[in-house]
């Protein structure tokens, strides 16, 4: 067991003060509290920033419209060794930060962690099925294009060193881009990703309300914008070669100056 890393939580928000209040209340109830919470106010006209400040979060303003810009700004501002990200309409379970911290402490080679989600509103009888279809279809559709499991924006964590290496390449000024797919594209394929079924997250069913055509357009745009260098066949080839190498150099969590060898999975 290595020393547990510090964890920052990033929440992009725009005009969601009541949902943000609920999210921050759930974060305050974590069994192991995050080391900081960074709320990125992306041009809110309501009281979102005041709600965040009242809850003890650090508020950062990002004038560039769009979730990609807001998320990237939050990642830039985060001070923790691990950066966790969720949305204002999310309700993390009490063990969310604990699981993230333990995952990165137990595996110094881990670069990024993600997990599933469940709907916490809408028709109760349909929630399990729709949750599985919503997240499952995303993973099934995107993984072949990446060569590895994609990060899910409402429930992810990434090591800050990994973010620092790709922060200049992400499309933070492209509001049509899905920021989680973009981050997945730039982090992979020669990094260690993990999809943890136990890393739960409660999300709002409003993600399903309207805009299906726009979500599809954004999804296609988020993939093809990285071509031809990131054609799936090229990514799969790079990942296969990386896995075949049998080992990657990673820095120890206990001592960043020491490198160890760890087999990628």
E-assigned strands of 26-72?
A: 36-41, 58-61
pLDDT at 33 over 90: yes
- ∠ CA 66-160-97 to the nearest 5 degrees? 85
> Which residues fall within 8 angstroms of residue 44, CB to CB, at 6 or more apart?
13, 14, 15, 16, 17
Domains in the chain, ordered, with CATH? Answer: 7-253 (3.90.550.10)
**Residue pLDDT, tens place only, 107-160:** 999 999 999 999 999 999 999 999 999 999 999 999 999 999 999 999 999 999
15, two tokens: 């005009």
The 3-state DSSP class for residue 234 equals: helix
Closest CA to 186 of 204, 201, 167: 167
- Averaged pLDDT, 182-206: 95
Residue 210: the pLDDT is 59
Is 4:79 a contact under the CB 8 Å cutoff?
Answer: no
Residue 211: the pLDDT is 61
Q: Who wins on pLDDT, 257 or 123?
A: 123
- The answer to which of 77-91, 163-177, 230-244, 245-259 has the lowest mean pLDDT is 245-259
- Averaged pLDDT, 177-189: 96
- Averaged pLDDT, 96-106: 98
Residue 257: the pLDDT is 32
**Residue pLDDT, tens place only, 58-68:** 999 999 999 99
């Amino acid at each position: 067991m290595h020393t547990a890393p510090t964890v920052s939580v990033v929440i992009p928000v725009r005009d969601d003060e009541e949902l943000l209040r609920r999210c921050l209340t759930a974060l305050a109830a974590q069994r192991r509290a995050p080391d900081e919470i960074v709320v990125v106010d992306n041009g809110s006209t309501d009281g979102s920033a005041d709600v965040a400040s009242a809850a003890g979060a650090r508020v950062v303003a990002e004038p560039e419209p769009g979730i990609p810009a807001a998320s990237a700004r939050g990642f830039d501002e985060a001070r923790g060794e691990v950066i966790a990200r969720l949305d204002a309409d999310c309700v993390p379970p009490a063990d969310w930060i604990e699981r993230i911290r333990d995952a990165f402490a137990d595996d110094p080679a881990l670069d990024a962690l993600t997990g599933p989600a469940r709907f916490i509103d809408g028709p109760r009888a349909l929630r399990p099925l729709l949750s599985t279809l919503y997240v499952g279809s995303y993973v099934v559709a995107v993984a072949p294009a990446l060569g590895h499991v994609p990060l899910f924006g409402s429930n992810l964590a990434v090591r800050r060193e990994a973010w620092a290496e790709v922060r200049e390449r992400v499309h933070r000024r492209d509001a049509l881009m899905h920021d989680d797919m973009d981050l997945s594209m730039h982090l992979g394929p020669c990094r260690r990703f993990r999809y943890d079924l136990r890393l739960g997250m409660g999300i709002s069913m409003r993600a399903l309300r309207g805009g299906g055509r726009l979500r599809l357009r954004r999804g296609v745009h988020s993939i093809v914008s990285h071509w031809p260098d990131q054609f799936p066949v090229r990514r799969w080839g790079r990942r296969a070669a990386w896995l075949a190498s049998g080992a990657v150099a990673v820095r120890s969590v206990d001592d960043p100056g020491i490198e160890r060898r760890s087999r990628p999975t």
